[in-house]
Amino acid sequence: FFSICHLMPLTLYYYAIEGGRVGCIRAALLHAGVEFEDKMLNFQEYSQMKAAGTAPAGMPCLEIDGKQMTQSLAISRFVGKKSDLYPKDDVQALVVDEVMDIVQDVLTKCPQDPDAEVKKKKREEYAAGKMKDFFDQISKRMTEVPGPFLLGAKPSIADMQVFYLLDMLRMGFFDHVEPTYPDAWQPLVAHEKAMAESEVIKKYREYFASKKP
Amino acid sequence: FFSICHLMPLTLYYYAIEGGRVGCIRAALLHAGVEFEDKMLNFQEYSQMKAAGTAPAGMPCLEIDGKQMTQSLAISRFVGKKSDLYPKDDVQALVVDEVMDIVQDVLTKCPQDPDAEVKKKKREEYAAGKMKDFFDQISKRMTEVPGPFLLGAKPSIADMQVFYLLDMLRMGFFDHVEPTYPDAWQPLVAHEKAMAESEVIKKYREYFASKKP
């Protein structure tokens, strides 16, 4: 990867936030020890780029040697391969990919509604229904091999996606879903603690604290 | 892969339809020349499995040696790796993964509404707005290297996802979006034709016609 990165300048574009859809990507880039330009935009800067027609087609965006690539999971997998956070074994990779797609489902299937009351009702139904099923699935996978991580002793990009999903919940990102929602799954709470204490997350948090505008 | 498959019995669970979220998976399994049990369920059988608690957590589901894996993109990538339909080069794999995630976005971000008129309005806005942006992105990627496929002369699982997305549109799967919608993108129409004539799709269509209940 070092050779690629000396040949290919890397620029990451996203809002100046730690977690959400960018956390896994920035943390993996740091874990790889690779140099990259970290364009942390605020909403005003992004609006200006949009107006000027210079905004990426989607964010997060990883620009590789001038080519702008979008989609947080695709980018996470790319940087995961380069930072030893994505397994070479195909069945293990399937487990990682499945969990990442379930996390994505939790986010994309979360209902919206312009009517505040309807939104509240839909969100509560989601938290008690489909979202609970997704959490059951993730939690079950976390217990299939000895932990603390999905595949065992080493974290993967799937662990990072799960970690930042829980982080979003803890921060109240999901209106009408309690920040304590994950506490019903003991394996996920144990996982959250192990991730917070992992080198990859600690290193990223130090970096983010130092870079935050 | 043959050795894996002799060790690990494979069973695929999905509805008895050709395309949608299962087309890429079945076609890639056939392309790999691997034996698998193809459980084509009808809605009644699936309901009975649900009631009996024996339904997979999600469908499509690939059961590998008794372990049930869900998520259509994760499974597509797994069978793609086994059938030479997923690139070994990491930058090419990023291009494939990005396009697959954009196709997934087209499907998951398509608005729903219980009110027929509101749904129509939302769908029309989507087709003219966000969905158009997604199609622009996919079409642009299709022209970045000489075709007819995303990465050149050989199709990948991303080409198959795009093909079955267009197939869903052609079949009128998207209420209030015209079946002629893709015709506005000449590279996508050319791609559709090349895919329909490819060995991987032709072989799958013959198989499906022979197996269809």
DSSP sequence for B28-74:
HHHHHT---EEEEE-HHHHHHHHHHT-S-SSSSEEEETTEEE--HHH
Q: With bands split at pLDDT 50, 70 and 90, how would you rate the model's confidence at A212? A: confident
**Domain A2-84+201-211 coded CATH 3.40.30.10:** yes
For the residues B21-48, what does the mean pLDDT come to?
A: 95
CATH topology of domain A90-198: Glutathione S-transferase Yfyf (Class Pi); Chain A, domain 2 (1.20.1050)
Query: Cβ–Cβ of A73/B102 closer than 8 Å?
Result: no
Q: Which of B81, B91, B108 sits opposite A108 (nearest CB)?
A: B108
Per-residue pLDDT at A27 exceeds 90? yes
B196-213 pLDDT, tens per residue? 999 999 999 999 999 876
Q: Which residues contact B175 (CB under 8 A, 6 or more apart)?
A: B119, B120, B123
Which candidate, A67, A62, A80, A82, places its Cα nearest to that of A4? A82
pLDDT at B136: 98
Query: Cβ–Cβ of A57/B133 closer than 8 Å?
Result: yes
State the best of B1, B67, B89, B97 to mutate against chain A, taking most chain A CBs within 10 Å.
B97
Structure tokens at A12: 């990451």
* Structure-token match 């695709």, residue found: A74
pLDDT at B2: 45
Q: Do domains B2-84+201-211 and B90-198 have the same CATH topology?
A: no
3-state secondary structure at position A54: coil
pLDDT at A70: 98
pLDDT at B159: 98
Q: How large a percentage of chain A has pLDDT more than 90? A: 92
* Structure-token match 């002629």, residue found: B180
Per-residue pLDDT at A42 exceeds 80? yes
B112-169 pLDDT, tens per residue? 888 999 999 999 999 999 999 999 999 999 999 999 999 999 999 999 999 999 999 9
A135-157 pLDDT, tens per residue? 999 999 999 999 999 999 999 99
Nearest chain A CA: its distance from B51 CA (Å): 16
Q: With bands split at pLDDT 50, 70 and 90, how would you rate the model's confidence at A6? A: low
* Structure-token match 């040696």, residue found: B65
Query: Cβ–Cβ of B78/A95 closer than 8 Å?
Result: no
B68-126 pLDDT, tens per residue? 999 999 999 999 999 999 999 999 999 999 999 999 999 999 998 889 999 999 999 99
d(CA A195, CA A205): 12
Q: With bands split at pLDDT 50, 70 and 90, how would you rate the model's confidence at A60? A: very high
d(CA B121, CA B98): 29
pLDDT at B116: 95
Per-residue pLDDT at A7 exceeds 80? no
Please report the DSSP string for chain B in residue order: -HHHHHHS-EEEEEES-SSTTTHHHHHHHHHHT---EEEEE-HHHHHHHHHHT-S-SSSSEEEETTEEE--HHHHHHHHHHHTT-S-SSHHHHHHHHHHHHHHHHHHHTS---SSHHHHHHHHHHHHHTHHHHHHHHHHHHHTSSSSSBTTBSS--HHHHHHHHHHHHHHTT-STTS-TTGGGG-HHHHHHHHHHHTSHHHHHHHHHHHHH--
Domain ranges of chain B: 2-84+201-211, 90-198
Instruction: Please tell me which residue of chain A has the smallest CA distance to B103.
Output: A71
Which candidate, B39, B38, B34, places its Cα nearest to that of B5? B34
Query: Cβ–Cβ of B69/A100 closer than 8 Å?
Result: no
Q: How large a percentage of chain B has pLDDT more than 70? A: 96
Mean pLDDT for chain A overall: 94
pLDDT at B6: 52
pLDDT at B127: 98
Question: Alpha-carbon Rg of chain A, whole angstroms?
Answer: 18
Nearest chain A CA: its distance from B133 CA (Å): 8
For the residues A14-28, what does the mean pLDDT come to?
A: 96
Enumerate chain B positions whose Cβ falls within 8 A of a Cβ in A. Answer: 57-58, 64, 69-71, 73-75, 77-78, 81-82, 90-91, 93-95, 97-98, 100-102, 104-105, 108-109, 133, 136-137
A61-90 pLDDT, tens per residue? 999 999 999 999 999 999 999 999 999 999
Max Cα–Cα distance, chain B, nearest Å: 54
Structure tokens at B201: 């799709």
Q: Which residues pair with A11 in a beta bridge?
A: A37, A63
pLDDT at B1: 46
A75-131 pLDDT, tens per residue? 999 999 999 999 999 999 999 999 999 999 999 999 988 899 999 999 999 999 999
